[in-house]
Amino acid sequence: MLSLQRQGRIGFFVPSSGEEACQIGSMMALEPRDWVFPAYRELGAAIWRGVPIETVIAQAYGNAKDAQRGRQMPSHFGASATHFVTTSSPVGTQITQAVGAAWAAKLRKEDVVTLTFFGDGATSEGDFHAGMNFAGVFKTPTIFFCKNNQWAISVPVSRQTATKTLAEKARAYGMEGIRVDGNDLLAVYSTTKAAVDKARSGGGPTMIEALTYRMGPHSSSDDPTRYRSKEEVESWARRDPIDRMRKYLELKGLWTKDRDDALRAELDDLIQTTIKEVERHPPPPIETLFEDVYAEMTPQIREQLEAFLASGERRRPEMLDKFPL
């Protein structure tokens, strides 16, 4: 996807290399009925939850194949069917939304847990403090999953807080804070599963600080070589979470190089085939702007649609038949 952006075939992309264990390990601990409130780097989490590869790629193109019809910037996907809430760009806003959804579930006596992802930079936002405080007071079944990837774009974590850890902030809000190796998939799963079980049983929220590293740029618009050293990146590359899991499985006799090569080839083929399929589609029809404002088109919006259809060459009277008053 980053290559597609460099070629000018899509406009923007947010990579997540290096953070795979955080995303997959935490999602393994949830049930389908639970809700996920992501930041903008949770591609692996989305795929684990069941968001199709085609949906993710089409969303980056924003064409007629895109379920969001090109109305959201790339890498801001979501799918209600898999309880994966659409991403928003403002930093930290998903935190209070996750708490609100958990509070609603608790009031309705629904067996639902919410998990929200955010980065180390988001702990400097007011939404973080408001969400943590409310969750602590009302004991909402919320997991606050902080992916401490060391950098908030070009600002290091050392400039975000005077505390030794981010996890210790949880104590001020009356909840447990846990620090975990975010590049160890099994450790992430175990920690998140314990927090989910506690929340589901009425034990309230937990904050997890997962230590990891953003191997690539913040986004396709960023040049990380301007603010971090090659040595730092190389040091974290030696702790790559996918490499670690692969080596662990090989030592257990559960995986081989041949199977690894075959799987990578299979996935590369799937991605290339999906890209070709998505690229065949034209931009979304302009008329769709009128369709999704309300579940049922209001007389005022129908009037706007009629004015649009009568205004130029794009005369589509069949559209009017779709929305009778």
Please give the angle made by the CA atoms of 316, 320 and 325, to the nearest 5 degrees: 170
Place of tokens 């505390």: 163
CA end-to-end distance (rounded Å), the chain? 43
CA–CA gap between residue 305 and residue 289 (Å, rounded): 9
CB 135, CB 102: distance < 8 Å: yes
Query: Please, what's the b/e burial string for 98-109 (b: 16 or more CB within 10 A of its CB; e: otherwise)?
Result: bbbbbbebbeee
Burial class (CB in 10 A: 0-12, 13-18, 19+), 255: middle
CA–CA gap between residue 196 and residue 46 (Å, rounded): 18
| SS3 readout for 118-130 | EEHHHHHCHHHHH
Token pair listed for 211: 């230590």
CB 118, CB 148: distance < 8 Å: no
Beta-bridge partner residues of 156: 151
CB 148, CB 120: distance < 8 Å: yes
Q: How many residues does the chain have?
A: 325
Residues contacting residue 216 through CB under 8 Å, at least 6 positions apart: 2, 15, 16, 17, 18, 224
Q: How far is CA 272 from CA 150, 240, 257, 276, in A?
A: 32, 25, 22, 6
Show which residues are catalytic.
214, 218, 227
What's the DSSP call for residue 239?
Answer: T
